[in-house]
Structures are given as structure tokens and as C-alpha cells.
Chains A and B, each alone.
Chain A
Amino acid sequence: MSDPADPIFDADAVARLTEVIGDSSTGRLIDLYLGEAQDLLATIAAGIATRNDEEVARAAHSLKSSSASVGALTVSTVSARVETMAQSLQLDAVVVLLEQLRGAFDDVRSLLTAESARLSGGP
């Protein structure tokens, strides 16, 4: 569960994207993010199962960057911790963080889905 004092989503990040690439492209980018993030979470889980610390670190690194770009602050922060843990070969600790990561993604997904619909002119 996220700390109310620690925002999970930075709407300014989305506003900065719309300033540069426009509303509809930002909506498309958010949709891409929502799909890619789920794939990366699955990659991290598979990497833990097969003890592939390199794969876990690479997926967490990618998730950290793309989450920051759409303002998914908590997902980005926890991904950074997963990356650090995987780089130091502490995959057992990553198991706990993966649950936090999934929770953080679930928290921000509905916010980003609403942003995407708004930017794409949807309901």
C-alpha cells in the first residue's frame, strides 16, 4: 500500500509530454506504457523464478525509466530498488519488492488509463 504523503502519480509528467508531443500521442504513449509495464513485471517474475539476476536488473531498469516518463513515481522508485538488488545478486529480497511493484502498478494503472482516455478524447 502506498503512503498518502508519497504521491504515486505525477500529473506534471504527463503535462510535459503533451506540451512536446501533443495529446493523442501522449495517450498512445501511456497505452504503450501500460502494456510494456505488464510485460516487464512478467519478465521480472520469470527472472526471479529462473535466478536470472541480469534479466531482472535489465527489466527493472527499463521499467524505472518508462515509469518515470509517464509520472508513475512509485513504480519507478520500487523498480530502481529492484534493479539495485538484482545487480547485487539479492534475488530473494526482490521477491518481496515484486509484490510492492505489482501493487504500485495496480494503484497507478487506473489513473493512467483515465489520463489516456481523456487525452484520446474518450469517455
Chain B
Amino acid sequence: MYVLPVDREDPRPRVLIADDSAVTRFGVRTALEQAGFDVCGEAADSEAAIQLAVSERPDVCLLDMKMPKGGGVHAVREITRALPDTPIVVLTGSESGADLLAALREGAWGYILKDEDLTAITHAVQSAAAGERPISKRAMRELLREPPATDSP
């Protein structure tokens, strides 16, 4: 006898949104739902994001970098540890190359800027769900422009 995996009835990719702004969460949620995603959870702080990610096991996590209770980098690190195959897309106001590098080093899969319009943010989540890395071109340019940090005095 073969035991077939139990598929969820809803085939839509599931996304977790974590941002301390209800305005941002509502805008992104609405755009993603209209694009065919199932937003399986919303979190307003880092700890809630980690708990929801572990319990809901979304297909993609979209995380703000500046959240209360630990910040986005903490959430990226913990979610990556718990769910190493789940792509995490960072949603941030910072186009600093150093911040991009820090997020990627902690396990972020993508990095997009908050001042992008909702269509671009939706495309970034679609790319991540498809296995591609959505990386802000502006942040990437900054990364290549900034002098490398030195590890030794």
C-alpha cells in the first residue's frame, strides 16, 4: 500500500508577513492575495514572526528588518535555523550594502526595498517561491561600491 502525501486543499503558495506597520502588512497582504497567494499569518514583531513561521511553515517569509523584540536579523537567523529550506525575503528601508550582506549571511534568500511599489514586492515573493533570488539592484550597487570591511586592525 502506498501512502500518498496529504496535499492541502488550497494549492496557493503560503506567505508569512512580518512588519510592525499595520499599513505595510495590509498593503502587502492585499497585493499578494490578489496575485494568488495565501497569506497564512501576520506578525508585528520578531518573536511572533518566529513562532508563526514554525507553526505555519509557510512557503515564503517576508520579513521587515526593523521590528520590535529582537529585530529582523534575529528572526532571519531563527527561522533559517528552524526551516532551512524556507526562503526568507527581507523587506527593508535600507539600501546599504552592509545591511544586504548581513541579511544574506544570516540566511535571507532575498532582499527588497520598502519604497518599491506593491507590484515589485509581489514579484519578489513570486520569484522567491519559484526558487529565484530577488535582490534589490540598488542595494547590490551599494554593496559593490562600498569598501570592504576589514576584519583585522
Size band of the interface chain B makes with A? 10 to 19
Given known contacts A29-B26, A58-B66, A61-B93, A20 and B119 CB-to-CB distance under 8 angstroms: yes
Bound-complex Cα distance A61 to B22 (A)? 14
A25 and B25 CA atoms in complex are apart in Å by 12
A68 interface hit (Cβ, 8 Å): yes
User: Can you name 24 A-B residue pairings with CB atoms under 8 Å?
Assistant: A16-B117, A16-B118, A17-B27, A17-B118, A20-B31, A20-B117, A21-B27, A21-B34, A25-B26, A25-B30, A28-B26, A32-B22, A32-B23, A33-B23, A36-B21, A58-B66, A61-B93, A62-B20, A62-B21, A65-B114, A66-B21, A66-B24, A69-B24, A69-B114
Q: Chain B interface mostly helix, strand, loop or mixed?
A: helix
Give A33's nearest chain B residue, CB to CB: B23
Residues of A within 8 A of B (CB): 16-17, 20-22, 25, 28-29, 32-33, 36, 58, 61-62, 64-66, 68-70
Once the chains are docked, how many angstroms separate the CA of A95 from the CA of B93? 24
Q: Mark B22-62, 1 if CB is under 8 A from A, else 0.
A: 11101100110010000000000000000000000000000
